Amino acid sequence: MGRLFGTSGVRGVVGKQITPQLVMDLGLSLAAQLGNSGTVVVGRDPRTSSDMLEGSLISGLLSGGCEVCRLGVVPTPVVSFAVRMLRAKAGAMITASHNPPEYNGVKLFDASGMAYTPVLEGRIERIYSGRKWRQVNWDEIGAVEELNVLPDYVGTLAGRVQLTKEYKVVVDCGNGAASVVAPLLLREVGCKVISLNAQPDGLFPGRPLEPSPENLTELCRVVRSTEADLGIAHDGDADRVVVVDEKGVVVPGDEILALVAAEHLNREGDKMVTTVDASNVVEEVVGGRGGKVIRTKVGDVSVAVEIRRHEASCGGEPCGAWIFPRFGMAPDGLLGALKVLELLNTSGKRMSELLAPLPDYYMLREKVPCPEDRKAKVMALVSKRLMKEFSEATGVLRVDGIRVNLLDGWVLVRASGTEPYIRVTVEARTPGRAEEILRKATKSVKRLL
Ligand code: MG
């Protein structure tokens, strides 16, 4: 039996890594970790395998003595919301987020609606690998309750946003879980909505699920042709939001995160959390408003953990996973979209006008091939080598790989968690300087191989 949890929860290709048996055993393991009692909220995305895996997961949970509340097809943040609303013991979402249609997986949430941390995943992993679960007697088997929480979710979110203007918004749901709620929610807050790919379809015929600029050309085109104020795109399970300005240009994730976070700080506190790979534009914008930026490991779970530890007002990753702890501890792409509209409304400006004054930064990335068994050694030695190469360094951050801060940029060297590579990311104020830093940094890494 292989390892259950990878870098993004339980995830893999259906029929290969992800089988009905594995997901049922996961259900039994989760039930055991919860003490073989209590309610677990279960949601799923529209993948062709999600129905099947939902059956397996529920079977395991019931057999392990838990009750199940079944939400049907919903975005991942709705599972987190429902766990809190129903005071359930845990939540489970069947999804593979932005991965291609043949993938699927399970993401778990604790009673506070926060994703399972590596510590909690470790507990499940031990139960699972030792098969230390318990199947309850026939007269202790739990029941399934079907529940539609979408009206509560939409009502709660819409109640938090007051827009004084009618915005024309094009929303691209990618045929994913956002389809069941994003257009409705945007109408609920008074927007004029044009929806794209808004029928849930497990083959995802509209576009690939990763909301990257190359996959959003249709959205950009429709924003321009309809003279919309804003374009919004979600990934497959809608825990992420990507924004397109009124000119039909995809807004860099670091920039929109910085603007939304800065707006949030004014009202709710002075700390925000982002990951080591986000642009310095976050410090410039948030710092410019008197806020403090806390840098953490890549991944939305690390962001959530740090938000809680520092009582930060918000946090997020440049990929569009944003967390607003006053609402919940899970990234929520639908709430994110409302925060962007609120930003437009408060400022009275268009999106491109909000972006125009931001400083220019140039980010470059390179993958240096590195065998799995050499990664640890290279990473142990790379720090010294980088410090020698960049003697002008102003600081070093070791929360995830090594990040060397320079007066006019930074370099981040990390071992990939899933592939045989060392990843080098650099940022600078000019393209030329970014290339220079990248050259020096990759040379340092290659020398150790
Ligand atoms: Mg996702």
Across the chain, what does the average pLDDT equal? 95
Task: Please give the torsion angle defined by the CA atoms of residues 25, 26, 29 and 31, in that order, rounded to the nearest 10 degrees.
Answer: -110
Q: What pLDDT is attached to residue 1?
A: 47
Catalytic residue flag (residue 80): no
The strand pairing partners of 261, in sequence order, are none
Place of tokens 């003279």: 227
- Ligand 1 centre to CA of 288 (Å) is 30
CB 232 within 8 A of CB 169: yes
- Ligand 1 centre to CA of 97 (Å) is 4
Lowest mean pLDDT segment, chosen from 360-369, 415-424, 430-439:
415-424
DSSP notation for 151-175: HHHHHHHHTT---SS--EEEEE-TT
Q: Please state the rounded mean pLDDT for residues 412-434.
A: 93
Q: What pLDDT is attached to residue 417?
A: 78
CB 231 within 8 A of CB 219: yes
CB 259 within 8 A of CB 282: no
Report field, pTM of the whole predicted structure over 0.85:
yes
If one compares 321 and 265, the residue with the highest pLDDT of the two is: 321
380-407: per-residue pLDDT in tens? 999 989 999 999 999 999 999 999 999 9
- Is residue 266 predicted with pLDDT exceeding 80? no
Q: Please state the rounded mean pLDDT for residues 325-349.
A: 97
d(CA 276, CA 299): 10
Q: Which CATH superfamily is domain 252-359 in?
A: Alpha-D-Glucose-1,6-Bisphosphate, subunit A, domain 3 (3.40.120.10)
353-385: per-residue pLDDT in tens? 999 999 999 999 999 999 989 999 999 999 989
Task: Tell me the CB-side half-sphere exposure of residue 112, using CA atoms within 13 A.
Answer: 11
- Ligand 1 centre to CA of 307 (Å) is 19
Buried b (16+ CB within 10 A) or exposed e, 297-319: bbbbbbbbbbbbebebbbbbbbb
CATH topology of domain 165-250: Alpha-D-Glucose-1,6-Bisphosphate; Chain A, domain 3 (3.40.120)
Name which of 285, 295, 272, 234 is nearest 77 in CA terms. Answer: 234
Distances (CA, A) of 429 to 359, 389, 433: 8, 19, 7
Buried b (16+ CB within 10 A) or exposed e, 364-377: beeebebeeeebee
Residue 421, helix vs strand vs coil: strand
% the chain with pLDDT above 70: 99
- Ligand 1 centre to CA of 317 (Å) is 12
pLDDT band at 23 (very low <50, low <70, confident <90, very high): very high
CB 47 within 8 A of CB 99: no
Distances (CA, A) of 96 to 8, 87, 302: 9, 25, 19
- Ligand 1 centre to CA of 44 (Å) is 12
Q: What pLDDT is attached to residue 6?
A: 82
Q: Please state the rounded mean pLDDT for residues 18-26.
A: 97
The pair of structure tokens assigned to 52 is: 């099947």
Neighbours of 391 (CB within 10 A): 6
Q: What pLDDT is attached to residue 209?
A: 97
The active-site residue out of 50, 80, 97, 195 is 97
pLDDT band at 9 (very low <50, low <70, confident <90, very high): confident
Give, as one character, the DSSP assignment of residue 139: G
d(CA 107, CA 5): 10
d(CA 418, CA 143): 38
Buried b (16+ CB within 10 A) or exposed e, 124-158: bbebbeeeebebbeeeeebeeeeeebbeebbeebb
- Architecture in CATH for domain 362-446: 2-Layer Sandwich (3.30)
Q: What pLDDT is attached to residue 2?
A: 59
- Ligand 1 centre to CA of 334 (Å) is 12
Distances (CA, A) of 319 to 85, 204, 242, 331, 426: 27, 20, 8, 11, 17
- For the chain, residues classed under CATH 3.40.120.10 are 5-151, 165-250, 252-359
Q: What pLDDT is attached to residue 241?
A: 98
User: Which CATH class name applies to 5-151?
Assistant: alpha beta
- For the chain, residues classed under CATH 3.30.310.50 are 362-446
274-306: per-residue pLDDT in tens? 999 999 999 999 999 999 999 999 999 999 999
90-123: per-residue pLDDT in tens? 999 999 999 999 999 999 999 999 999 999 999 9
Q: Please state the rounded mean pLDDT for residues 267-280.
A: 88
